[in-house]
Amino acid sequence: MAANGGGKILNVSSTAAYMPGPLQATYFATKAFVSSFSYALAEELSDKGVTVTALEPGYVETEFADRADLNGTALTKSGQTPDTVAKIGYDAMLKGKINVINEPFLAFQLNWLMPFLPHKLKNKFIRKMQEKA
């Protein structure tokens, strides 16, 4: 793409990239890597006409909850369909956005509230969301 003077890359990350992930530490850390990698790559390729977008959705209604044994947790109470999330990501990629979170209120919480919480509180909050009642 860089050699051809342009292109667009859409990487699928998660809102998990914004926080610690007790009970799913590897998943959360992997998504943090995907987002960080995407942001860095976006800068590296910006002068070559290539944009990189990180799609960072909240919960998406897929078989993920079954496979990760998350059904019955606060994380799976509401979500969007894969088609809806894919469209949001695709539209953001076409606009050249560096990242997109599919739910505006969740984006507000992650960008404006979560950074100011102490790590211990974040850990407890996320753990509680992932534990079954």
Residues marked as catalytic: 27
Pairwise CA distance, residues 131 & 133, whole Å:
6
- Continuous segment of H or E residues that includes residue 82: helix 82-95
Q: Which of 31, 36, 40, 91 is nearest to 59 (CA)?
A: 31
CB 34 within 8 A of CB 53: no
Pairwise CA distance, residues 19 & 110, whole Å:
8
Pairwise CA distance, residues 27 & 70, whole Å:
13
